[in-house]
């Protein structure tokens, strides 16, 4: 695929690439590294904590996350997860060909938004504690277990790689509350 990383920008619902199942990245070359860098830049510009490759129009299994640590100490988890697990990362990270395994604890309800769905926020359930395995930009494989916002961000971005959006997981109430905002986006997209 011929890609100029500098021209990438965030695409919005209902762009069809957001519903595509992304393909694994077979070779981590300079283009992939440049795309990763550009995605981090776009994520910061949009003041998000994560961005997946389909959100910049590329059906690749790759996402970026930067969940800054909260200045307040994390509350003691009440869901049976380990208090020592990280809930943030030290800086922006690029995750290539990620897989999520080993969910622990009871699913939790929390509000989420998405950079590809402006003005749409709603509640959905996620696993509070998951393990992610991925390759970095040097091709090194990593495995890390996390909780809190970092675990949530990983699950949200990983969903994008399978064409799954937050609106698919919203509670019934959130679905109702966001119906008109979603219609407005659909209208904009088709004009
Ligand atoms: Zn999203």
Apex CA 111: angle with CA 80 and CA 59, to 5°? 100
Q: Is 75's pLDDT higher than 80?
A: no
Q: How far apart are CA 6 and CA 42, in angstroms?
A: 10
φ and ψ of 110, to 5 deg: -155, 155
Answer yes or no: are the C-beta atoms of 114 and 166 closer than 8 Å: yes
The residue-averaged pLDDT of 128-132 equals 96
pLDDT band at 103 (very low <50, low <70, confident <90, very high): confident
Ligand 1 centroid vs 63 CA: distance in angstroms? 10
What does the pLDDT read at residue 7?
A: 94
pLDDT at 152 over 60: yes
- Which residues are placed with Cβ below 5 angstroms of ligand 1, an ion? 114
- State in Å: Cα 109 to ligand 1 middle: 17
User: pLDDT tens across 21-69, in order?
Assistant: 999 999 999 999 999 999 999 999 999 999 999 999 999 999 999 999 8
The pTM (predicted TM-score) of the whole model is 0.93
Backbone Cα Rg of the chain: 16
Ligand 1 centre from 74 Cα, in Å?
A: 24
- Show the tokens assigned to 119: 């003005």
- In angstroms, the CA 161 to CA 23 distance is 8
157 is catalytic: yes
pLDDT of residue 182: 96
Catalytic residue among 93, 108, 112, 157: 157
| CA gap 146, 87 in Å, rounded | 6
Question: 3-class DSSP state for residue 30?
Answer: helix
State yes or no: pLDDT of 74 exceeds 60.
no
Q: Classify residue 118 by its DSSP letter.
A: T
């Amino acid at each position: 695929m011929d890609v100029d990383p500098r021209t990438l920008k965030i695409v919005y619902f209902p762009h069809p690439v957001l519903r595509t199942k992304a393909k694994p990245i077979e070779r981590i070359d300079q283009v992939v590294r440049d795309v990763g860098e550009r995605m981090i830049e776009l994520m910061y510009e949009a003041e998000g904590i994560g961005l997946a490759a389909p959100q910049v129009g590329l059906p690749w299994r790759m996402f970026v996350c930067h969940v800054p640590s909260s200045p307040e100490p994390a509350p003691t988890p009440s869901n049976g997860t380990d208090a020592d697990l990280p809930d943030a990362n030290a800086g922006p990270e690029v995750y290539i060909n990620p897989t999520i395994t080993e969910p622990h604890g009871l699913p939790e309800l929390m509000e989420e938004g998405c950079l590809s769905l402006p003005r749409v926020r709603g509640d959905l359930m996620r696993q509070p504690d998951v393990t992610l395995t991925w390759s970095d930009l040097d091709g090194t494989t990593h495995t890390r277990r996390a909780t809190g916002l970092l675990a949530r961000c990983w699950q949200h971005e990983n969903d994008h790689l399978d064409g799954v959006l937050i609106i698919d997981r919203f509670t019934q109430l959130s679905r109702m509350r966001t119906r008109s905002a979603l219609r407005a986006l659909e209208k904009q997209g088709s004009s």
